[in-house]
């Protein structure tokens, strides 16, 4: 896909994003508890020249393992991590999946300054069998969005 700017210059479309945060730290959470209305934030920056959304997916130790985190002892199931484009209380977010789903962020193309939007995160722990530090991976994949303003 390409476009012609006002000076008649042909330009290829570039869909690209970056994420400001390298990790999401939920802190210590009791077994069987969730983050409630306390969300952690990631900032998705449009680095390209077209409007974008983002597709989100995740895993604990390997793609499609149906966990969002692998802990020193035990794992946290993938559906226990939630996200949304605005602040939310746990239970009202969108469940993370291993296959991915598009979040309609409507991030407009970058013109002069950075163009970005936030993704908020919450999590719930299993009621037993979890202990220690937990880690996982979240994939942020750029998706073209012709409707962003």
Question: What is each CA distance from 66 to 27, 44, 75, in whole angstroms?
Answer: 22, 24, 10
pLDDT at 145: 87
Report the pLDDT value the prediction gives residue 1, as an integer from 0 to 100.
45
Cα diameter, the chain: 63
Q: What is the pLDDT of residues 71-90, one digit of tens each?
A: 999 999 999 999 999 999 99
More confident residue, 7 or 102: 102
Q: Per-residue pLDDT for 5 more than 90?
A: no
Smallest Cα–Cα separation from 55: which of 146, 144, 141? Answer: 141
**What mean pLDDT, rounded, does the chain reach?**
92
Q: Which two tokens stand for residue 148?
A: 């962003």
pLDDT at 116: 95
Do 41 and 25 meet the contact criterion of CB atoms below 8 Å apart? no
Among residues 72, 128, 46, 61, the alpha carbon closest in space to that of 98 is found at 61
Q: Report the alpha-carbon distance of residue 98 to residue 37 in Å, rounded.
A: 24
pLDDT score for 10: 73
Tell me if 46 sits within 8 A of 15, measured CB to CB: no
Whether pTM exceeds 0.95 = no
User: Hey, is 79 helix, strand or coil?
Assistant: helix
């Amino acid at each position: 896909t390409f476009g012609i700017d006002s000076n008649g210059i042909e330009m290829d479309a570039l869909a690209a994003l970056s994420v400001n945060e390298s990790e999401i730290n939920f802190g210590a959470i009791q077994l069987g508890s969730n983050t409630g209305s306390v969300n952690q934030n990631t900032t998705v920056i449009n680095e390209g020249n077209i409007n974008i959304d983002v597709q989100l997916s995740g895993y604990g130790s390997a793609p499609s393992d149906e966990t969002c985190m692998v802990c020193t002892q035990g794992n946290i199931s993938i559906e226990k991590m939630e996200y949304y484009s605005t602040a939310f209380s746990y239970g009202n977010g969108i469940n993370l999946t291993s296959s991915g789903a598009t979040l309609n962020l409507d991030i407009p193309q970058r013109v002069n300054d950075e163009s970005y939007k936030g993704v908020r995160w919450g999590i719930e722990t299993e009621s037993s069998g979890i202990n220690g530090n937990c880690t996982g991976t979240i994939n942020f994949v750029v998706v073209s969005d012709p409707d962003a303003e």
